[in-house]
Structure formats: structure tokens, C-alpha cells
């Protein structure tokens, strides 16, 4: 099996456009507990990806993922650049080493999540994007092959992002606020949820 390049292109486009549409919300969340640039940074990165989308989707899948990662690294301008960049670079690297989509989705996603954890020297429970990505990975593993996989991933992501609200941040700018970070959804967790939901919606539309 493989992923047709038209499918890949439409999913990347949908995900990037959804993040761009969510930029005001991401900025507002980041203004509450951070430096308020997450929305504009992610928008800049996603616009750069959209600008190169034809070239990206003309590549083999592994190289396409790496190009997305490199584009985010070079354009986002905040810590989310290297974090999301490492996610896509590692996914591309896994695909260069005998992993295939869609059958190895959980493995590829796992490599990508590990790269985010290593780049941020962070783990689940610290009020970061990992608090969405790690639960999504668990669902990809436990529900692999199930007919309702996409619906379960969507539910997992939505519930996971809400669970960041009561957490106290121990990584990133939000950690400077200490206990005052409690009560706010984490902007990075929210942007991860937006990406996951956009890809799920794109897959549902094609099913």
C-alpha cells in the first residue's frame, strides 16, 4: 500500500489551512500563558508550506515529510518551529527506513513524537503539545485496524487538549507563571489538536 500524492497533498493543504484559520485562537491562548506569538508563528510556517506544496507533494513521501519539517524549522521563528519541524523530519526519516504509510502509521507517528520529546527535553504531563501527541499515539496503537480508528483519534485529541487546562506548566514560557498557568489550555497542545483533527477530517471526507 501507499499514499497517493494527491491524497497527501490534500491532507497537508487542509491541515495547513486549518492551522492558519486557528491562528487568532492560538495567539489568544498563548497571550494568556506565554508570549502570544504561537498563532502568528504557526501561520507563517504553514503559509510557507502551502507556498511550496506543489514541490513538496512531487517528492517521494519520505522526502515530502522532510521538506515540510525543514520548511517549518526555517520559517516559524519560535520554539514550535524546531518542535513541529523535528516531528515531520523524524516521520520522513522513519519512512526512509522501511516504514510505510498507512500500514506503519503508529510506528511513524511514534518516531515523530519521540523526536518532539527529545527536541524539547519534555515529557507528557508538562502542559505541552506532547499532552495531545502522546495520547493520540496510544490510540493509534491500541485502535490500529479498527473501523472507528479515526473517530477514536478525534475524541482522544479533543479530550487530551482539555486535560491540559488543569495542568501546571513546567516547560516553556508558561512555566514562568508557575501556578498561574493552571486553568488555561496549552496553545501548543491546541495546535497539535488542530492538525490532528484536520487530517482526520480530510481522511473522513475521502473515505
Contacts with other proteins by CB under 8 A lie at 35, 37, 40-41, 44, 73-75, 77-79, 81-83, 85-86, 119-120, 172-173
Given the complex with other proteins, which of 173 and 190 has the nearer CB atom?
173
Given the complex with other proteins, which of 8 and 87 has the nearer CB atom?
87
Given the complex with other proteins, which of 89 and 105 has the nearer CB atom?
89
At closest approach, how far in Å is the CB of 172 from other proteins?
6
| CA pair distance 74, 203, nearest whole angstrom | 28
At closest approach, how far in Å is the CB of 79 from other proteins?
4
Given the complex with other proteins, which of 60 and 77 has the nearer CB atom?
77
At closest approach, how far in Å is the CB of 63 from other proteins?
16
Q: Can you read off the three cell numbers belonging to residue 28?
A: 489568544
Residue 78 region by backbone torsions, left for phi larger than 0, else alpha for psi between -120 and 50, else beta: beta
Given the complex with other proteins, which of 173 and 184 has the nearer CB atom?
173
At closest approach, how far in Å is the CB of 16 from other proteins?
17
| CA pair distance 181, 127, nearest whole angstrom | 9
Q: How many CB atoms lie within 10 A of CB 133?
A: 28
Question: Half-sphere exposure of residue 186, counting CA atoms within 13 Å on the CB side?
Answer: 33
Residue 206 DSSP symbol = H
At closest approach, how far in Å is the CB of 206 from other proteins?
33
| CA pair distance 33, 20, nearest whole angstrom | 20
Amino acid at each position: 500500500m501507499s499514499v497517493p500524492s494527491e491524497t497527501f497533498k490534500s491532507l497537508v493543504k487542509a491541515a495547513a489551512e486549518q492551522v492558519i484559520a486557528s491562528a487568532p485562537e492560538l495567539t489568544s491562548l498563548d497571550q494568556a500563558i506565554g508570549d502570544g506569538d504561537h498563532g502568528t508563528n504557526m501561520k507563517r510556517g504553514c503559509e510557507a508550506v502551502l507556498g511550496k506544496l506543489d514541490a513538496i507533494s512531487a517528492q517521494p513521501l519520505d522526502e515530502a515529510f522532510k521538506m515540510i519539517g525543514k520548511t517549518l524549522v526555517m520559517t516559524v521563528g519560535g520554539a514550535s518551529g524546531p518542535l513541529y519541524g523535528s516531528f515531520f523530519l523524524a516521520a520522513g526519516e522513519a519512512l526512509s527506513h522501511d516504514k510505510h504509510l498507512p500500514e506503519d502509521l503508529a510506528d511513524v507517528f511514534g518516531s515523530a513524537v519521540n523526536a518532539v520529546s527529545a527536541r524539547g527535553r519534555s515529557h507528557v504531563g508538562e502542559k505541552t503539545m506532547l499532552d495531545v501527541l502522546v495520547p493520540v499515539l496510544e490510540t493509534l496503537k491500541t485502535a490500529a485496524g479498527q473501523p472507528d480508528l479515526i473517530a477514536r483519534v478525534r475524541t482522544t485529541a479533543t479530550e487530551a487538549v482539555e486535560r491540559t487546562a488543569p495542568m501546571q506548566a513546567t516547560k516553556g514560557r508558561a512555566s514562568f507563571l508557575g501556578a498561574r498557568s493552571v486553568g488555561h489550555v496549552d496553545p501548543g497542545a491546541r495546535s497539535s489538536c488542530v492538525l490532528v483533527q484536520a487530517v482526520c477530517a480530510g481522511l473522513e471526507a475521502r473515505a
